[in-house]
Amino acid sequence: MQKLVVIGAGMASGRMLEHLFEAAPGAWDVTLFNAEPRGNYNRIMLSPVLSGEKSYAEIVTHDEAWYDTHGVTCRFGEKVVGIDRDRKVVIGEQGEVAYDKLVIATGSNPFIIPLPGHDLDGVIAYRDLDDTNRMIEAARPGARAVVIGGGLLGLEAAAGLRLRGMDVTVVHIMGHLMERQLDEAAGYLLRRALTDRGIEVCCSANSKEILGEDGKLRALKLDDGTELPCDLLVMAVGIRPSVALAKEAGLETGRGIQVDAQMHTSDPDILSLGECVEFDGQIFGLVAPLYDQAKVAAQTLTGEASEYIPREVSTKLKVTGCDLFSAGDFAEGEGREDIVFRDPARGVYKRLVLEGDRVIGAVMYGDVADGNWFYGLIKDGTDISEMRETLIFGPAFQGGASVDPMAAVAALPADAEICGCNGVCKGQIVAAIEAGATSLEAIKATTKASASCGTCSGLVEQVLAVTLGDDFVLPTAKPICACTDHPHEDVRRLIKAKELKSQPAVMQELGWKTSNGCHVCRPALNYYLLADWPLEYTDDPQSRFVNERNHANIQKDGTYSVMPRMWGGMTTPEELLAIAEAAKKYDATVKVTGGQRIDLLGIKKEDLPHIWADLNAAGMVSGHAYTKGLRTVKTCVGTDWCRFGTQDSTGLGIKLEKRLWGSWTPHKFKMAVTGCPRNCAEATCKDLGVVCVDSGFEISVGGAAGMELKETEPLAKVATEQEVIDISVAFLQLYRESANYLDRPYKWIAKTGGLEWIIAQVVDDLDNRAALIERFDISQSVYQKDPWAERATPQYERAWSPLADLTKEAAE
């Protein structure tokens, strides 16, 4: 049996021994020295120990039983004082041990800045469990700590101390945090996140002196004169390979102990690995290359050919809630290009650095789910030219069209918002599922997703199905039509979540089964797109039902009816004369409607642009009697004339109609304002009705007087006309944004589980009300245009006439 001595029980040597015992069990008689009075533990998990999220016992990697099993002689807590290479012995404090092979894994020492006062009581480095324990002891809630160093270790220390209740300030010499791993933008987000959790951060700050009193730490003084009082000062400014022992033994050293690709030092019987080595000019501080070295060292010992090749490394910060990832080289440079994705609201930042067709660096903050995938691309030097356009969205977005209805949901990135009401992303839902929430109800309870308006419950169920696989039986939701498996709710949410802004985009991304939809889905998609993206999407007349395309109501004989707006049901003799003349000129049947307007029936299509021009000339505009949009606002005469009237119901009705006309809605939308509870304007069976009372206005919604008869339900009672208008606009906009196409408000309200959620959105939450109004106004800037005026032109006259008249030729 050969004698192997290992100096240092760190992560690298621990891993090496594992490989060795696996490859050559019983071949080596191992003695393991460690200056720390303990064996191998997972040093990179010290941060959770510091913060209290883990205990030491949880991070031990090799316990006594393991050393026993493999016959390792442990000499823990014993320093090695020298190596005699001629005699091939290691000299410990307690005596010598002979070796055939020696492995030096002494690791690194924390770098202590030789500031005046660095030896004061209360100044500690952050390196091992003893340091950690000293910090835990010092971390009384309310006590103050300063951490010098805004790198990985320093920030983890700062976060841990903060979690233990200390007031923490991080002092960093560079302009942004973690400058070796992060660029400025990500550094900024990280700083903001730390500040949010109560950690003060001073960048570009030079420490000058550590101040003490009676040998005890008092404050850190910066070179600008600032004094930061503290009870604990942690130095985490970097590490130095621990080379003293090797150097004394006459091994070649530079910054570290020099090794070849087989991990031999300058003495072929002595190997070295870990943070203490220097290979090809590089030294190492992260765990991944150490593990690679451990494997090579074990193979060298067993006589297997092997070669250490340094690889790109990636970094994740172990501070709960600060998700960052960095890998490769992300400095700017000639021939390098960036792909950047930012979502300021959610604090997400992703940047890829490309050189030619390869990714060479990645920095991510806030959403690091795809980090390992990008890391793989960097490591493998993958040619990304084919997927460059969607690269930043991660692996889920690659791979072309989705046919599986679940594929669209499966492809959503973790940060795609599923529940708009509560701002819940897919990632949170997946996390909740993985934590045991395996039903829609459980997801609602744990994440709030679909707990408000409920329109995303279909999507939540799909996330459940995608995540749980066969363990979850998807309830069958009714798809929009045979072109798709998605119900309306899913399509609406996905249009928003995936930012789909055209019909082809929707059909492609959501796996439509037909090339261009059908008469059922196309009008719905056209509506959803124009409602969600009023500025980006262009209305498609060919996806509209005939009435909305021709801006008149088709009748059973193929003629049309034309109805001008009469604001609040008011008209004038001049308007009536113009209507009468038009009726005679185009041979119309005249009918007074239930919505307090006049309908001209029997107009031929080719006459439409002409009658519109005539009515426009008299100051009248389209009444939109044919639209899924605002129809009429019916009123009574109110205080103007009526002896019972309590408010100016006519005036308010006109104001509402002038504010809301022209907007497209999921289905038609009818309103009324009545001047007193006698309700002459029949406001309590409308989609939105206002009943005036002495003290103000009662707004109620969700009425119906069609195939179903339904009384409205109270939405709000307010004192001023302005509030009536604001709440009406907000209600209409919420309906526009969240209802299924062809659901009247009463149906939509029922699907949201009652008025409670809607009241919260448009009545109680004033900010949200204002936001709804703002979005409505953006839409109105595009859509509040008189379609008659736009179409009473020679071009439309031509387009709406027959293409050719063959009646004469046929007669020949």
Partner 1 sequence: MSWIDIGALEDIPVQGARVIKTKMGCVAVFRTADDAVFALSDRCPHKGGPLSEGIVHGHKVTCPLHNWVFSLETGEAQGADEGQVPTYDLRVEAGRLLIDASKLAAQSAA
Where on the chain is the footprint of partner 1 (CB under 8 A)?
A: 514-519, 522-523, 541-546, 549-550, 554, 556-558, 799, 802-807, 809-811
Shortest distance in whole angstroms from residue 401 CB to partner 1: 18
- List, in sequence order, every residue forming a beta bridge with 547; answer none if it has no partner: none
Shortest distance in whole angstroms from residue 667 CB to partner 1: 17
Shortest distance in whole angstroms from residue 486 CB to partner 1: 17
Rounded to an integer, what distance in angstroms lies between the CA atom of residue 138 and that of residue 140? 6
Smaller CB distance to partner 1: residue 394 or 787? 787
- Alpha helices (H) in 77-197, listed in sequence order: 129-138, 152-163, 184-196
Shortest distance in whole angstroms from residue 536 CB to partner 1: 20
Shortest distance in whole angstroms from residue 708 CB to partner 1: 21
Shortest distance in whole angstroms from residue 551 CB to partner 1: 12
Smaller CB distance to partner 1: residue 709 or 810? 810
Shortest distance in whole angstroms from residue 554 CB to partner 1: 6
Shortest distance in whole angstroms from residue 352 CB to partner 1: 36
Smaller CB distance to partner 1: residue 476 or 515? 515
User: Is 625 within 8 Å of 653 (Cβ atoms)?
Assistant: no
Smaller CB distance to partner 1: residue 546 or 770? 546
Residue 438: both structure tokens together: 């395996």
Shortest distance in whole angstroms from residue 701 CB to partner 1: 30
Shortest distance in whole angstroms from residue 516 CB to partner 1: 5
Rounded to an integer, what distance in angstroms lies between the CA atom of residue 227 and that of residue 208? 10
Map tokens 């797109």 to a residue.
529
Shortest distance in whole angstroms from residue 628 CB to partner 1: 15
The secondary structure of 162-185 as a DSSP string is HHTT-EEEEE-SSSSTTTTT--HH
The secondary structure of 657-709 as a DSSP string is HHHHTT-B-SS-EEEEEESSTT-TT-GGGSSEEEEEETTEEEEEE--EESSSE
User: Is 194 within 8 Å of 154 (Cβ atoms)?
Assistant: no
Measured between alpha carbons, how far is residue 551 from residues 97, 290, 621 in Å? 98, 73, 11
Phi and psi dihedrals of 560, rounded to 5? -125, 160
Smaller CB distance to partner 1: residue 562 or 763? 562
Question: Who contacts 495 (Cβ-Cβ below 8 Å, separation ≥6)?
Answer: 506, 528, 529, 532
User: Is 28 within 8 Å of 16 (Cβ atoms)?
Assistant: no
Phi and psi dihedrals of 503, rounded to 5? -65, -45
CA atoms lying within 13 Å on the CB side of residue 290: 21
Phi and psi dihedrals of 80, rounded to 5? -90, 130
Rounded to an integer, what distance in angstroms lies between the CA atom of residue 22 and that of residue 294? 13
Shortest distance in whole angstroms from residue 559 CB to partner 1: 10
Measured between alpha carbons, how far is residue 296 from residues 128, 305, 436, 693 in Å? 26, 9, 41, 86
Local structure of 751: helix, strand or coil: helix
Smaller CB distance to partner 1: residue 279 or 560? 560
Shortest distance in whole angstroms from residue 518 CB to partner 1: 5
Smaller CB distance to partner 1: residue 312 or 540? 540
Smaller CB distance to partner 1: residue 1 or 546? 546
Smaller CB distance to partner 1: residue 467 or 503? 503
Smaller CB distance to partner 1: residue 519 or 643? 519
Smaller CB distance to partner 1: residue 218 or 544? 544
Shortest distance in whole angstroms from residue 811 CB to partner 1: 6
Of the candidates 290, 313, 399, 292, the one whose C-alpha atom is nearest the C-alpha of residue 11 is 290
Rounded to an integer, what distance in angstroms lies between the CA atom of residue 160 and that of residue 156? 6
User: Is 236 within 8 Å of 242 (Cβ atoms)?
Assistant: no
| 332-340 LR contacts (CB < 8 Å, sep 24+) | 336/360, 339/388, 339/391, 339/392, 340/185, 340/392
Shortest distance in whole angstroms from residue 506 CB to partner 1: 14
Smaller CB distance to partner 1: residue 345 or 810? 810
Shortest distance in whole angstroms from residue 803 CB to partner 1: 4
Handedness of CA 343, 348, 351, 357 (dihedral sign): negative
Smaller CB distance to partner 1: residue 127 or 628? 628
Smaller CB distance to partner 1: residue 373 or 800? 800
Smaller CB distance to partner 1: residue 478 or 556? 556
Smaller CB distance to partner 1: residue 546 or 617? 546
Question: Who contacts 766 (Cβ-Cβ below 8 Å, separation ≥6)?
Answer: none
Rounded to an integer, what distance in angstroms lies between the CA atom of residue 481 and that of residue 259? 68
User: Is 487 within 8 Å of 458 (Cβ atoms)?
Assistant: yes
DSSP 537: P
